[in-house]
Amino acid sequence: MNTLKRYAGLLWVILGPIGIHYLIATAQAEIAKKPVIDTKIQWAVFIVVFYPIAIGFILFGLYALEGNYDHIPEASAELEEDYEAKPL
């Protein structure tokens, strides 16, 4: 299962930049088709909202590749043990 999590992490790392590229390419094409202020504002909002989401996909994937999701705690006591065991 941990191997599957790491492959999924790789998928997220790849999908993040692809999503950003597709979003910007689509915005440029739509603004070129109809270059009015309404279209520019609409796509600017889309980019401002979805860009951080795509960055989050990349970070989530990197954490999965590093193995941070290999052990998922099932009780609060495990959370405290993990927190005490890992130095900041």
Q: What is the pLDDT of residues 34-57, one digit of tens each?
A: 999 999 999 999 999 999 999 999
By residue range, what is the domain housing residue 40? 2-85
What pLDDT is stored for residue 88 in this prediction? 54
Global pTM?
0.73
Angle, alpha carbons 73-76-78 (nearest 5°): 50
What pLDDT is stored for residue 87 in this prediction? 57
What pLDDT is stored for residue 47 in this prediction? 94
Total structural domains in the chain?
Answer: 1
How would you class 8 by CB atoms within 10 Å of its CB: exposed for 0-12, middle for 13-18, buried for 19 or more? middle
Using CA atoms, how far apart are residues 47 and 25, in angstroms rounded to an integer? 11
Nearest to 41 by CA among 33, 32, 31: 31
Percent of the chain residues topping a pLDDT of 70: 89
What pLDDT is stored for residue 31 in this prediction? 95
- pLDDT tens digit string along 66-82? 888 777 777 777 777 65
What pLDDT is stored for residue 83 in this prediction? 59
Two tokens at 2?
């941990």
